[in-house]
């Protein structure tokens, strides 16, 4: 079994060899390590993408807009991902974004996961029948495990989710009521010897 450290280093070097700058290669090393740590096929997708790059061209998406459409060449997931990460504070205001024609969308995923941590909000991603929920870079929830190579996503939808409870007020109240059963009723004499007791608050 390869260690995550080997995966990081080799992905970084392969990225540099595939024409990316050292700084971006460092990002990719960390990303593939993250994907593999989360049990997603990072090495598989990266290897195939770099093989494809030898004969195919991809478009570099350097500025992220609310709608990102590539009509001719598919977007490079690494440049698009780096741009997303770098511009994530600004992107946060978009709430919802779409990308059309993004190559190897799994390679885009860790950039979203890291962005989720940076902005402190969950990010959801959907393409084809796959849905992902990025939880502040702590974990990624998936509805459909993508164990194989996904060379292209025709349409991706991204939502930056507001920080909201995942339960109703009633559910919370019920839970809180239950938790109250660990409390003990204080007697009057104990109440009078507690902190601040016996003083006026206006002295």
Residue numbers at the binding site for other proteins (CB under 8 A) = 1-6, 13, 20-24, 26-27, 30, 62-63, 82-83, 85-90, 114, 118
HEC per residue, the chain = CCCHHHHHHHHHHHHHHCCCCHHHHHHHHHHHHHHHHCCCCHHHHHHHHHHHHCCCCCECCCCCCCEEECCCCCECHHHHHHHHHHCHHHHHHHCEEEEEEEECHHHHHHHHHHHHHHHCCCEEEEECCEEEEEECCCEEEECCCCCCCCCEEEEEEEEECCCCCCCCHHHHHHHHHHHHHHCCCCCHHHHHCCCCCCCCCCC
Nearest to 20 by CA among 33, 31, 4: 31
Q: Are 144 and 64 in contact (CB under 8 A)?
A: no
- Compute the least distance from the CB of residue 22 to other proteins, in Å: 4
Helix axes 77-86, 105-119, angle to 10 degrees: 10
How far is residue 64's CA from residue 88's CA, in Å, rounded to a whole number?
A: 9
Nearer to other proteins, 13 or 154 (CB): 13
């Amino acid at each position: 079994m390869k260690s995550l450290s080997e995966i990081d280093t080799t992905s970084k070097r392969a990225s540099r060899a595939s024409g990316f700058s050292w700084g971006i290669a460092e990002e990719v090393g960390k990303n593939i390590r993250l994907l593999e740590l989360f049990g997603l096929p990072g090495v598989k997708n990266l290897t195939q993408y770099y093989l494809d790059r030898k004969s195919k061209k991809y478009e570099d998406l350097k500025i992220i807009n609310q709608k990102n459409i590539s009509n001719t060449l598919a977007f490079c997931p690494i440049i698009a991902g780096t741009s997303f990460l770098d511009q994530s504070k600004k992107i946060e205001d978009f709430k919802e974004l779409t990308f059309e024609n993004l190559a190897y969308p799994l390679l885009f995923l860790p950039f979203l996961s890291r962005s989720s941590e940076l902005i402190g909000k969950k990010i959801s991603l959907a393409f084809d029948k796959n849905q992902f929920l990025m939880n502040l870079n702590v974990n990624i929830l998936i509805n459909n495990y993508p164990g194989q190579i996904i060379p292209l996503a025709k349409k991706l939808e991204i939502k930056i989710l507001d920080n909201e409870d995942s339960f109703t007020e009633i559910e919370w109240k019920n839970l809180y009521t239950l938790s109250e059963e660990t409390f003990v009723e204080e007697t009057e004499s104990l109440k009078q010897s507690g902190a601040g007791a016996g003083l006026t608050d206006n002295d």
